[in-house]
Structure 1
Amino acid sequence: MAPLIVVLAGGEGRRMGGEKPLRLLGGETLVDRALRRARHWSDEVRLALRTPEQVPNPGVPILLDDPDVWGPLAGLANALREARRTGRTHVLTLPCDVPFLPDDLLSRLQAAIGDEAVAMAESDGQLHPVCALWSVGVLDRLASYRAAGRRSLKGLAQDAGMVLVDWPEEAFVNVNTPADLAEAERRLRSEV
Protein backbone atom coordinates (compact mmCIF):
# COMPACT_ATOMS: atom_id res chain seq x y z
CA MET A 1 0.00 0.00 0.00
CA ALA A 2 1.27 3.45 -0.91
CA PRO A 3 1.96 5.83 1.96
CA LEU A 4 0.01 8.95 2.69
CA ILE A 5 2.08 11.80 1.28
CA VAL A 6 2.04 15.22 2.85
CA VAL A 7 3.54 18.24 1.11
CA LEU A 8 4.84 20.63 3.75
CA ALA A 9 4.07 24.22 2.76
CA GLY A 10 3.28 25.98 6.04
CA GLY A 11 6.43 28.05 6.37
CA GLU A 12 6.45 31.82 6.11
CA GLY A 13 9.03 32.01 3.31
CA ARG A 14 10.55 35.22 4.67
CA ARG A 15 13.79 34.92 2.69
CA MET A 16 11.68 34.57 -0.47
CA GLY A 17 9.63 37.63 0.44
CA GLY A 18 6.59 35.57 1.45
CA GLU A 19 4.19 33.28 -0.41
CA LYS A 20 6.92 30.80 -1.31
CA PRO A 21 4.55 27.93 -2.25
CA LEU A 22 2.95 30.14 -4.92
CA ARG A 23 6.22 31.18 -6.61
CA LEU A 24 6.49 30.05 -10.21
CA LEU A 25 9.11 27.67 -11.58
CA GLY A 26 8.76 26.75 -15.23
CA GLY A 27 5.26 28.26 -15.27
CA GLU A 28 4.08 26.07 -12.38
CA THR A 29 3.87 27.02 -8.70
CA LEU A 30 6.30 25.29 -6.38
CA VAL A 31 3.41 23.74 -4.46
CA ASP A 32 1.70 22.46 -7.63
CA ARG A 33 4.99 20.92 -8.73
CA ALA A 34 5.34 19.13 -5.38
CA LEU A 35 1.70 17.98 -5.40
CA ARG A 36 2.07 16.62 -8.94
CA ARG A 37 5.07 14.57 -7.83
CA ALA A 38 3.20 13.36 -4.74
CA ARG A 39 0.19 12.22 -6.83
CA HIS A 40 2.57 10.21 -8.98
CA TRP A 41 3.54 8.17 -5.91
CA SER A 42 0.26 7.84 -3.97
CA ASP A 43 -3.51 8.15 -4.15
CA GLU A 44 -3.55 9.74 -0.67
CA VAL A 45 -2.00 13.21 -0.78
CA ARG A 46 -2.43 16.08 1.68
CA LEU A 47 -1.09 19.62 1.93
CA ALA A 48 0.14 20.90 5.32
CA LEU A 49 -0.42 24.63 5.79
CA ARG A 50 -0.41 27.14 8.62
CA THR A 51 -3.61 28.77 7.26
CA PRO A 52 -5.86 27.83 4.31
CA GLU A 53 -5.17 31.22 2.71
CA GLN A 54 -1.54 30.24 2.05
CA VAL A 55 -2.57 28.10 -0.94
CA PRO A 56 -6.10 28.75 -2.23
CA ASN A 57 -7.83 25.76 -3.87
CA PRO A 58 -4.93 23.29 -3.81
CA GLY A 59 -6.99 20.39 -5.19
CA VAL A 60 -6.09 18.10 -2.26
CA PRO A 61 -7.25 18.00 1.38
CA ILE A 62 -5.49 20.46 3.69
CA LEU A 63 -4.02 19.59 7.08
CA LEU A 64 -3.73 22.75 9.17
CA ASP A 65 -0.70 23.00 11.43
CA ASP A 66 -1.39 22.91 15.15
CA PRO A 67 -0.42 26.42 16.35
CA ASP A 68 1.12 24.88 19.48
CA VAL A 69 3.59 22.81 17.42
CA TRP A 70 6.57 24.48 15.78
CA GLY A 71 7.68 24.16 12.14
CA PRO A 72 7.60 21.00 10.03
CA LEU A 73 6.89 18.93 13.14
CA ALA A 74 3.33 20.35 13.05
CA GLY A 75 2.79 19.09 9.51
CA LEU A 76 4.24 15.69 10.34
CA ALA A 77 2.10 15.30 13.49
CA ASN A 78 -1.11 15.95 11.58
CA ALA A 79 0.01 13.72 8.71
CA LEU A 80 0.72 10.81 11.06
CA ARG A 81 -2.75 11.21 12.61
CA GLU A 82 -4.31 11.34 9.15
CA ALA A 83 -2.40 8.25 8.02
CA ARG A 84 -3.59 6.32 11.06
CA ARG A 85 -7.17 7.50 10.41
CA THR A 86 -7.02 6.37 6.75
CA GLY A 87 -5.33 3.03 7.50
CA ARG A 88 -1.94 3.91 5.99
CA THR A 89 1.15 2.55 7.71
CA HIS A 90 3.59 5.23 6.55
CA VAL A 91 3.81 8.92 5.71
CA LEU A 92 6.16 10.40 3.13
CA THR A 93 6.94 14.05 3.86
CA LEU A 94 7.91 16.29 0.96
CA PRO A 95 8.81 19.98 1.09
CA CYS A 96 7.18 22.31 -1.41
CA ASP A 97 10.48 24.10 -2.01
CA VAL A 98 12.71 21.25 -3.22
CA PRO A 99 11.69 21.09 -6.89
CA PHE A 100 14.12 18.45 -8.21
CA LEU A 101 13.33 15.47 -6.00
CA PRO A 102 14.68 12.20 -7.39
CA ASP A 103 12.22 9.89 -9.17
CA ASP A 104 13.32 7.00 -6.96
CA LEU A 105 12.83 8.85 -3.65
CA LEU A 106 9.86 6.82 -2.44
CA SER A 107 11.01 3.44 -3.76
CA ARG A 108 14.47 3.73 -2.20
CA LEU A 109 13.13 4.95 1.13
CA GLN A 110 10.60 2.08 1.19
CA ALA A 111 13.33 -0.44 0.34
CA ALA A 112 15.57 0.89 3.11
CA ILE A 113 13.18 1.37 6.02
CA GLY A 114 13.01 -2.29 7.12
CA ASP A 115 12.25 -2.42 10.85
CA GLU A 116 13.28 1.20 11.45
CA ALA A 117 10.71 3.89 12.19
CA VAL A 118 12.11 6.38 9.67
CA ALA A 119 14.01 6.29 6.37
CA MET A 120 15.54 9.70 5.65
CA ALA A 121 17.26 11.14 2.61
CA GLU A 122 20.80 12.46 2.89
CA SER A 123 23.36 13.83 0.49
CA ASP A 124 27.03 14.53 1.12
CA GLY A 125 26.47 13.92 4.83
CA GLN A 126 23.62 16.44 5.03
CA LEU A 127 20.32 15.07 6.32
CA HIS A 128 17.04 16.06 4.65
CA PRO A 129 14.48 15.46 7.42
CA VAL A 130 11.58 16.82 5.38
CA CYS A 131 12.31 14.18 2.72
CA ALA A 132 11.59 11.11 4.79
CA LEU A 133 9.35 8.08 5.13
CA TRP A 134 7.84 7.84 8.62
CA SER A 135 6.14 4.85 10.22
CA VAL A 136 2.79 5.79 11.74
CA GLY A 137 4.12 4.35 15.02
CA VAL A 138 6.26 7.49 15.37
CA LEU A 139 3.04 9.22 16.43
CA ASP A 140 3.17 7.29 19.71
CA ARG A 141 6.53 8.92 20.53
CA LEU A 142 5.53 12.43 19.59
CA ALA A 143 3.86 13.54 22.84
CA SER A 144 6.83 12.61 25.03
CA TYR A 145 9.26 14.07 22.47
CA ARG A 146 7.42 17.41 22.52
CA ALA A 147 6.99 17.30 26.31
CA ALA A 148 10.78 17.15 26.60
CA GLY A 149 10.92 20.49 24.74
CA ARG A 150 12.26 18.96 21.56
CA ARG A 151 10.99 20.04 18.15
CA SER A 152 13.24 19.01 15.27
CA LEU A 153 12.32 16.36 12.73
CA LYS A 154 15.89 15.10 12.77
CA GLY A 155 15.83 14.65 16.53
CA LEU A 156 12.50 12.84 16.38
CA ALA A 157 13.82 10.49 13.69
CA GLN A 158 16.96 9.77 15.72
CA ASP A 159 14.85 9.15 18.81
CA ALA A 160 12.48 6.79 16.96
CA GLY A 161 15.23 4.96 15.02
CA MET A 162 16.20 5.80 11.47
CA VAL A 163 18.12 4.65 8.46
CA LEU A 164 19.74 7.07 6.01
CA VAL A 165 19.56 6.76 2.23
CA ASP A 166 22.17 8.64 0.20
CA TRP A 167 21.64 10.60 -3.04
CA PRO A 168 23.71 13.14 -4.96
CA GLU A 169 23.47 16.64 -3.49
CA GLU A 170 21.77 18.19 -6.56
CA ALA A 171 18.62 16.13 -5.91
CA PHE A 172 17.77 18.21 -2.83
CA VAL A 173 18.42 21.78 -3.94
CA ASN A 174 16.26 24.00 -1.76
CA VAL A 175 14.60 27.15 -3.10
CA ASN A 176 14.66 29.70 -0.28
CA THR A 177 15.48 33.01 -1.95
CA PRO A 178 14.73 34.78 -5.24
CA ALA A 179 18.31 33.95 -6.32
CA ASP A 180 17.69 30.25 -5.57
CA LEU A 181 14.51 30.41 -7.65
CA ALA A 182 16.36 32.02 -10.56
CA GLU A 183 19.02 29.30 -10.38
CA ALA A 184 16.32 26.60 -10.33
CA GLU A 185 14.75 28.19 -13.41
CA ARG A 186 18.12 28.03 -15.22
CA ARG A 187 18.53 24.39 -14.20
CA LEU A 188 15.04 23.53 -15.37
CA ARG A 189 15.66 25.14 -18.77
CA SER A 190 18.97 23.27 -19.15
CA GLU A 191 17.32 19.92 -18.34
CA VAL A 192 14.52 20.34 -20.91
Structure 2
Amino acid sequence: MAWGILLAGGRSSRMGTDKLDLTLEGRTLAQRGVDALLSVADVVVVASPHREGFDDPRVEFVLEDPPFGGPVAGIAAALEWLPEGDVEVYLLAGDLADPAPLVALLASGVPGEDGLALVDEEGWPQYLAGRYRASALRRVVSGEVRDRSVHRTFRPLRLALSPVVSAMAADVDTPEQARHAGIDPTENRCDNRRSTDLSNLDE
Protein backbone atom coordinates (compact mmCIF):
# COMPACT_ATOMS: atom_id res chain seq x y z
CA MET A 1 0.00 0.00 0.00
CA ALA A 2 1.38 3.39 -0.98
CA TRP A 3 0.60 6.71 0.66
CA GLY A 4 0.89 10.28 -0.54
CA ILE A 5 1.73 13.46 1.35
CA LEU A 6 0.89 16.83 -0.19
CA LEU A 7 2.24 20.01 1.38
CA ALA A 8 -0.70 22.23 0.49
CA GLY A 9 -0.05 25.38 2.45
CA GLY A 10 2.41 28.22 2.51
CA ARG A 11 2.38 31.87 3.40
CA SER A 12 2.34 32.72 -0.32
CA SER A 13 3.98 36.01 0.59
CA ARG A 14 5.55 36.49 -2.84
CA MET A 15 2.34 35.64 -4.68
CA GLY A 16 0.10 38.01 -2.76
CA THR A 17 -2.71 35.43 -2.67
CA ASP A 18 -2.98 31.78 -1.68
CA LYS A 19 -1.10 30.12 -4.52
CA LEU A 20 -2.69 26.73 -3.86
CA ASP A 21 -6.04 28.23 -4.93
CA LEU A 22 -4.73 29.37 -8.31
CA THR A 23 -6.30 27.36 -11.10
CA LEU A 24 -4.88 25.80 -14.23
CA GLU A 25 -7.13 24.03 -16.71
CA GLY A 26 -10.05 24.13 -14.29
CA ARG A 27 -8.29 22.67 -11.23
CA THR A 28 -6.53 24.37 -8.35
CA LEU A 29 -2.87 23.62 -7.78
CA ALA A 30 -3.87 21.73 -4.64
CA GLN A 31 -6.34 19.61 -6.60
CA ARG A 32 -3.74 18.90 -9.28
CA GLY A 33 -1.33 17.69 -6.62
CA VAL A 34 -3.90 15.43 -4.98
CA ASP A 35 -4.96 13.97 -8.33
CA ALA A 36 -1.34 13.24 -9.26
CA LEU A 37 -0.71 11.48 -5.95
CA LEU A 38 -3.92 9.45 -6.16
CA SER A 39 -2.63 7.98 -9.41
CA VAL A 40 -0.02 6.07 -7.38
CA ALA A 41 -1.19 6.20 -3.74
CA ASP A 42 -4.14 4.62 -1.99
CA VAL A 43 -4.52 7.50 0.48
CA VAL A 44 -3.27 11.09 0.32
CA VAL A 45 -2.61 13.09 3.49
CA VAL A 46 -2.79 16.84 2.86
CA ALA A 47 -0.95 19.17 5.24
CA SER A 48 -3.75 21.73 5.40
CA PRO A 49 -6.99 22.11 7.36
CA HIS A 50 -8.89 23.45 4.36
CA ARG A 51 -11.10 20.82 2.78
CA GLU A 52 -12.86 22.90 0.14
CA GLY A 53 -13.29 20.91 -3.05
CA PHE A 54 -12.10 17.63 -1.56
CA ASP A 55 -14.86 15.08 -0.97
CA ASP A 56 -12.81 11.99 -1.81
CA PRO A 57 -12.66 9.58 1.17
CA ARG A 58 -9.09 8.74 0.13
CA VAL A 59 -7.98 12.26 1.07
CA GLU A 60 -7.22 13.13 4.71
CA PHE A 61 -6.17 16.44 6.24
CA VAL A 62 -3.69 17.25 8.99
CA LEU A 63 -2.24 20.41 10.51
CA GLU A 64 1.07 20.91 12.28
CA ASP A 65 0.88 22.45 15.75
CA PRO A 66 1.67 25.28 15.94
CA PRO A 67 0.85 26.22 12.34
CA PHE A 68 3.19 28.10 9.98
CA GLY A 69 5.95 25.67 10.91
CA GLY A 70 7.36 25.10 7.43
CA PRO A 71 7.48 22.07 5.12
CA VAL A 72 9.32 19.77 7.53
CA ALA A 73 6.73 20.45 10.23
CA GLY A 74 3.99 19.66 7.72
CA ILE A 75 5.69 16.38 6.84
CA ALA A 76 5.99 15.49 10.53
CA ALA A 77 2.27 16.09 11.06
CA ALA A 78 1.39 13.93 8.06
CA LEU A 79 3.68 11.12 9.21
CA GLU A 80 1.79 10.93 12.50
CA TRP A 81 -1.33 10.05 10.51
CA LEU A 82 0.33 7.23 8.59
CA PRO A 83 0.03 3.66 9.89
CA GLU A 84 2.85 1.82 11.60
CA GLY A 85 5.14 -0.12 9.32
CA ASP A 86 7.45 0.71 6.47
CA VAL A 87 4.96 1.85 3.84
CA GLU A 88 5.96 3.67 0.67
CA VAL A 89 5.33 7.41 0.70
CA TYR A 90 5.13 9.78 -2.27
CA LEU A 91 5.90 13.32 -1.10
CA LEU A 92 4.95 16.34 -3.17
CA ALA A 93 4.96 20.10 -2.77
CA GLY A 94 1.55 21.53 -3.51
CA ASP A 95 2.72 24.54 -5.52
CA LEU A 96 3.76 22.64 -8.64
CA ALA A 97 1.97 23.62 -11.84
CA ASP A 98 2.17 20.19 -13.47
CA PRO A 99 2.84 17.49 -10.86
CA ALA A 100 1.52 14.48 -12.79
CA PRO A 101 4.65 13.92 -14.94
CA LEU A 102 6.84 14.21 -11.84
CA VAL A 103 4.84 11.57 -10.01
CA ALA A 104 5.05 9.32 -13.07
CA LEU A 105 8.85 9.70 -13.05
CA LEU A 106 8.98 8.78 -9.37
CA ALA A 107 6.75 5.76 -9.89
CA SER A 108 8.88 4.42 -12.73
CA GLY A 109 12.24 4.98 -11.04
CA VAL A 110 14.32 2.50 -9.04
CA PRO A 111 14.64 3.74 -5.44
CA GLY A 112 17.75 3.62 -3.31
CA GLU A 113 17.87 2.26 0.21
CA ASP A 114 15.76 5.12 1.59
CA GLY A 115 13.93 6.16 -1.55
CA LEU A 116 14.10 8.25 -4.68
CA ALA A 117 14.10 11.99 -5.33
CA LEU A 118 14.21 14.05 -8.48
CA VAL A 119 17.30 16.13 -9.25
CA ASP A 120 17.28 19.17 -11.53
CA GLU A 121 19.71 20.08 -14.29
CA GLU A 122 21.88 22.07 -11.88
CA GLY A 123 22.31 19.08 -9.61
CA TRP A 124 19.93 20.20 -6.85
CA PRO A 125 17.86 17.39 -5.35
CA GLN A 126 14.15 18.22 -5.36
CA TYR A 127 13.32 16.56 -2.06
CA LEU A 128 9.70 17.73 -2.12
CA ALA A 129 9.18 15.58 -5.19
CA GLY A 130 10.20 12.20 -3.86
CA ARG A 131 9.28 8.63 -3.10
CA TYR A 132 10.44 7.45 0.31
CA ARG A 133 10.30 4.66 2.83
CA ALA A 134 8.20 5.83 5.76
CA SER A 135 10.87 4.59 8.17
CA ALA A 136 13.46 6.79 6.46
CA LEU A 137 11.24 9.85 6.72
CA ARG A 138 10.56 9.17 10.38
CA ARG A 139 14.29 8.85 11.01
CA VAL A 140 15.16 12.30 9.67
CA VAL A 141 11.91 14.15 10.43
CA SER A 142 12.20 14.05 14.20
CA GLY A 143 13.01 16.37 17.07
CA GLU A 144 12.47 20.09 16.54
CA VAL A 145 10.98 20.41 13.06
CA ARG A 146 9.64 23.95 13.06
CA ASP A 147 11.31 26.12 10.40
CA ARG A 148 13.92 23.44 9.70
CA SER A 149 15.64 23.40 6.31
CA VAL A 150 14.33 20.77 3.92
CA HIS A 151 17.76 20.20 2.37
CA ARG A 152 19.48 19.86 5.75
CA THR A 153 16.81 17.40 6.89
CA PHE A 154 16.83 15.17 3.82
CA ARG A 155 20.56 15.25 3.02
CA PRO A 156 21.43 12.21 5.22
CA LEU A 157 19.02 9.95 3.32
CA ARG A 158 20.45 7.30 1.00
CA LEU A 159 18.51 8.11 -2.14
CA ALA A 160 18.58 7.32 -5.81
CA LEU A 161 18.32 10.52 -7.85
CA SER A 162 16.29 10.68 -11.04
CA PRO A 163 17.09 13.56 -13.45
CA VAL A 164 14.30 15.94 -14.35
CA VAL A 165 14.20 19.00 -16.58
CA SER A 166 14.24 22.01 -14.27
CA ALA A 167 11.21 23.56 -15.94
CA MET A 168 9.14 20.47 -15.12
CA ALA A 169 9.94 20.77 -11.42
CA ALA A 170 9.45 24.53 -11.23
CA ASP A 171 7.08 25.68 -8.53
CA VAL A 172 4.75 28.66 -8.59
CA ASP A 173 5.90 31.22 -6.02
CA THR A 174 5.48 34.56 -7.80
CA PRO A 175 3.00 36.17 -10.21
CA GLU A 176 5.67 35.96 -12.92
CA GLN A 177 6.08 32.23 -12.38
CA ALA A 178 2.31 31.80 -12.43
CA ARG A 179 2.01 33.56 -15.78
CA HIS A 180 4.86 31.48 -17.18
CA ALA A 181 2.87 28.37 -16.19
CA GLY A 182 -0.23 29.66 -17.97
CA ILE A 183 -1.98 30.93 -14.84
CA ASP A 184 -3.45 34.41 -14.45
CA PRO A 185 -2.63 35.21 -10.81
CA THR A 186 -5.13 38.08 -10.68
CA GLU A 187 -8.17 36.40 -12.22
CA ASN A 188 -7.71 32.65 -12.54
CA ARG A 189 -8.45 31.68 -8.95
CA CYS A 190 -10.67 29.21 -7.18
CA ASP A 191 -13.93 30.69 -5.94
CA ASN A 192 -13.55 28.95 -2.57
CA ARG A 193 -10.50 30.79 -1.33
CA ARG A 194 -8.73 29.82 1.85
CA SER A 195 -8.14 32.45 4.48
CA THR A 196 -4.98 31.05 6.10
CA ASP A 197 -1.92 29.08 5.11
CA LEU A 198 0.00 26.41 6.95
CA SER A 199 3.48 25.43 5.86
CA ASN A 200 5.84 27.92 4.31
CA LEU A 201 6.59 26.40 0.93
CA ASP A 202 8.44 29.57 -0.09
CA GLU A 203 11.64 28.31 1.56
**What is the TM-score of this pair, normalised by structure 2?**
0.75
Give the CA deviation at 1:68: 7.2
- Report what 2:32 is aligned to: 33
- Report what 1:19 is aligned to: 18
Greater helix percent: which structure? Answer: 1
Give the CA deviation at 1:47: 0.9
- Report what 1:106 is aligned to: 106
Check 1:181–1:82 CA distance in 2 against 1; reply closer, same or farther (3 A cut): same
- Report what 2:76 is aligned to: 77
AA in 1 matched with 2:150: L
Give the CA deviation at 1:57: 4.5
Percent identity between matched residues is 25
Give the CA deviation at 1:14: 1.1
**What is the TM-score of this pair, normalised by structure 1?**
0.79
Output the CA distance in 2 between the equivalents of 1:160 and 1:75.
Answer: 18
Output the CA distance in 2 between the equivalents of 1:108 and 1:156.
Answer: 25
- Report what 1:129 is aligned to: 127
Which of the residues 87, 92, 96 maps onto 2:94? 96
AA in 1 matched with 2:52: P
Check 1:11–1:23 CA distance in 2 against 1; reply closer, same or farther (3 A cut): same
- Report what 1:190 is aligned to: none
Give the CA deviation at 1:168: 1.5
Q: Which has the higher contact order (CA 8 A, sep 6+)?
A: 2
Structure 1 runs of 4+ aligned residues shifted over 3 Å read none
Q: Given that residues 97 and 174 in structure 1 are in contact (C-alpha distance below 8 angstroms), is that contact kept between their aligned partners in structure 2?
A: yes
Equivalent pairs counted in the alignment come to 176
Give the CA deviation at 1:88: 5.5
Structure 1 unmatched runs, 5+: 187-192
Q: Given that residues 79 and 91 in structure 1 are in contact (C-alpha distance below 8 angstroms), is that contact kept between their aligned partners in structure 2?
A: no
Give the CA deviation at 1:128: 1.1
- Report what 2:191 is aligned to: none
Output the CA distance in 2 between the equivalents of 1:32 and 1:96.
Answer: 9
Q: Given that residues 46 and 60 in structure 2 are in contact (C-alpha distance below 8 angstroms), is that contact kept between their aligned partners in structure 1?
A: yes
How big is the alpha-carbon RMSD for the aligned residues of Structure 1 and Structure 2? 2.5
Structure 2 unmatched runs, 5+: 184-203
- Report what 2:52 is aligned to: 56
Output the CA distance in 2 between the equivalents of 1:67 and 1:161.
Answer: 30
Q: Given that residues 118 and 157 in structure 1 are in contact (C-alpha distance below 8 angstroms), is that contact kept between their aligned partners in structure 2?
A: no
Q: Given that residues 83 and 90 in structure 1 are in contact (C-alpha distance below 8 angstroms), is that contact kept between their aligned partners in structure 2?
A: no
Output the CA distance in 2 between the equivalents of 1:122 and 1:42.
Answer: 22
Output the CA distance in 2 between the equivalents of 1:80 and 1:140.
Answer: 11
Does the residue aligned with 1:76 lie in a helix, a strand or coil?
A: helix
Q: Given that residues 10 and 65 in structure 1 are in contact (C-alpha distance below 8 angstroms), is that contact kept between their aligned partners in structure 2?
A: no
- After the TM superposition, which of the residue ranges 35-44 and 99-108 deviates more from structure 2? 99-108
